[in-house]
Amino acid sequence: MAAVRTLRKLCQHTQHQVCKLHTSASRQEAVVISGKKLARQIREEARGDVEKWVLAGHRRPHLSVILVGENPASHSYVLNKTRAAADVGISSETILKHSDISEEELLDLIFKLNTDPRVDGLLVQLPLPEHIDERTVCNAVSPTKDVDGFHVVNVGRMCLDQSTMLPATPWGVMEMIKRTGIPTLGKNVVVAGRSKNVGMPIAMLLHTDGRHERPGGDATVTISHRYTPKEQLCQHTKIADIIVAAAGIPKLITADMIKEGAAVIDVGINRVQDPVTGKDRLVGDVDFEGVRQKAGYITPVPGGVGPMTVAMLMKNTIKAAKNVLLYPPERIRMAAVS
């Protein structure tokens, strides 16, 4: 009987060990980073900054938005921005212009707003009609009012690790990574996409020196683009600690391309037809359902980077209001025409 009891205990112990082994081998899904939740935190901070600024005797910050044409997506984005401005206490206006406006007329309007002391932040919603050069328009906005961070002066200062107006989406990605507690120092990062407004600035912010005036992430960054062979992209993503997908290609990043526990930030916004309903829906550049089974962190689309972009735009508008005290009108005029 003693032998039987001993054997029974041994079997129970073995089953317990197998159960423990099975539990440890299985892993939880990735932590889904809520851009909405983080954006609410940042907007609360912005609201506090605005109230302190106003209580100190300053005029309430004002944002002017120029919207050209009837692009439904652009109208939706602008509405989100003006609603966010109202939420944090920033006054705003949307100036609507027909799509046939000439480039010269648009530049004249920008110059008028540049020199209007009541306007702190100014942005021209992109994209613009084909007959208007976007780079010319972005460089026409005064650097001190350039809340999009697209003026060549602000881009240059960002590249030199100097304090400046940072592009809202790249800054939002950095804040998302930082506030989630994802380490970047010495980590391998892949940025899929090299656009001048998103991919390039994200890579710049992630790889630059964390000790400088505008601290960077101190990461080792690889940038891929349309001419990067898929097999080469896979080689890089499989060793990446962080992947930022900003290429505008649905399901560019799949589960077999990442290492377990990687952080995957999806900046892509793509409209695809739902095979079940037949209606259009928004998706990112990442195969969300597949990748979340393997990643450590992942952002959804929608509800990820998008809300962060709008929140950082509010922070830039407050910075623009404070820049009025730092830059005399003469220097503003010189920067605007440079």
Q: Which residue out of 49, 125, 161, 241 is catalytically annotated? A: 125
Catalytic entry in 49, 146, 148, 161: 148
Tokens 């026409």 -> residue: 140
Task: Tell me if residue 81 is catalytic.
Answer: yes
Among the listed residues 81, 187, 315, 319, the single catalytic one is 81
Q: Distance between CA atoms of 320 and 325, rounded to whole angstroms?
A: 10
Integer Cα distance of 236 and 161 in angstroms: 26
Q: How far from each other are the two terminal CA atoms of the chain, in whole angstroms?
A: 96
- Do the beta carbons of residue 295 and residue 265 sit within 8 Å? no
Confirm whether 41 is a catalytic residue: no
Rounded to a whole number of angstroms, the CA Rg of the chain reads: 24
- Measure the CA–CA gap between 254 and 290, rounded to whole angstroms: 7
Q: Which sequence positions are flagged as catalytic?
A: 81, 125, 148
